[in-house]
């Protein structure tokens, strides 16, 4: 009896029935419905930004909004597909064109932070409610994605975390554009991808620490 046979016996003996995951596109749709629900609730409570319809006629504004939304949607689809073993990793390319569109449309105002905008009509109260929108959108969405994609942790976490943070960033930025007369796309993108990177790095650190502990049991 080799240890591998023992392991097989142990795994079979402790087998519990599992519920198969639903198809990835269905699950991505579920997640996006949740995102839509959150946006609708914010719209209900907070209301659209002043002059939204006028701004939507501007091509640059419309492109930026569409790019952010599309990035959010496609990155979510990519995350759900890539999280499954045996699916092509090329799905990660899916959100790239819309990301390019989004980045292109916000490129001209790179890193213009919120403070200078205050003189143009955004009051300090507006900034606070803007941050509230950010937190209310990105936090539940991130938690939902982390819960729905947790099976990827033991398979291949890095690309899934990347796609998931991109998706949350896109949706959050779209929410901000819809509800507030501010544009913080670059900050949101940096913040969300930075958080994703932080999660990956801490995961790698914990992994290294644990494997070292496992190899040198003192």
Partner 1 sequence: MTTKPVLKLVRGAAAPSPQVRELDWSILMARAQDGDANAYRRLLESITPYLRAHASRCHRNPSDVEDAVQDILLTLHAVRATYDPARPFGPWLTAIARRRLIDRLRRQGRRRVFETEFEPAHETFADPPANFEDMTDIHKIAAALDRLPPAQREALRLTKIEGLSLKEASAASGMSVAALKVATHRAVERLRRFFSGGSES
Residues that bind partner 1 (CB under 8 A): 2-5, 7-9, 11-13, 15-21, 23, 83-87, 151, 154-156, 208, 211, 215
Q: Of the two residues 22 and 60, which places its CB atom closer to partner 1 in the complex?
A: 22
Q: Of the two residues 82 and 182, which places its CB atom closer to partner 1 in the complex?
A: 82
* Min dist. Cβ of residue 79 to partner 1 (A): 14
How far is the C-alpha of 14 from the C-alpha of 2, rounded, in Å?
19
* Min dist. Cβ of residue 215 to partner 1 (A): 8
How far is the C-alpha of 78 from the C-alpha of 90, rounded, in Å?
9
* Min dist. Cβ of residue 209 to partner 1 (A): 12
List all residues 6 or more positions away from 66 whose beta carbon is below 8 Å from its beta carbon: 98, 101
Q: Of the two residues 25 and 41, which places its CB atom closer to partner 1 in the complex?
A: 25
DSSP string, 130-184: HHHHHHHHHHHHHHHHHHHTGGGGGT-HHHHHHHHHHHHHHHHHHHHHHH-S---
- Asked if residue 167 lies in contact with residue 76, where contact means CB atoms within 8 angstroms, the answer is yes
* Min dist. Cβ of residue 17 to partner 1 (A): 3
Q: Of the two residues 8 and 135, which places its CB atom closer to partner 1 in the complex?
A: 8
């Amino acid at each position: 009896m080799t240890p591998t046979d023992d392991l097989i016996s142990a795994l079979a003996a402790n087998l519990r029935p599992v519920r198969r995951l639903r198809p990835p596109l269905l699950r991505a749709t579920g997640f996006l419905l949740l995102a839509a629900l959150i946006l609708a609730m914010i719209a209900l409570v907070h209301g659209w930004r002043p002059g939204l319809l006028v701004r939507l006629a501007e091509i640059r504004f419309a492109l930026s909004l569409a790019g952010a939304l599309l990035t959010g949607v496609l990155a979510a689809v990519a995350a759900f597909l890539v999280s499954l073993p045996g699916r092509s990793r090329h799905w990660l390319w899916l959100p790239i064109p819309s990301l390019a569109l989004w980045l292109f449309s916000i490129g001209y105002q790179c890193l213009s932070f919120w403070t200078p905008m205050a003189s143009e009509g955004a009051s300090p109260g507006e900034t606070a409610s803007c941050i509230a929108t950010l937190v209310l959108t990105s936090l539940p969405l991130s938690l939902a994605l982390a819960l729905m994609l947790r099976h990827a942790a033991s398979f291949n976490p890095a690309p899934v975390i990347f796609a998931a943070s991109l998706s949350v960033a896109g949706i959050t930025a779209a929410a901000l554009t819809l509800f507030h007369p501010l544009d913080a796309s670059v900050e949101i993108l940096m913040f969300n991808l930075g958080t994703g990177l932080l999660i990956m790095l801490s995961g790698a650190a914990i992994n290294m620490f644990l494997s070292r502990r496992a190899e040198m049991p003192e």
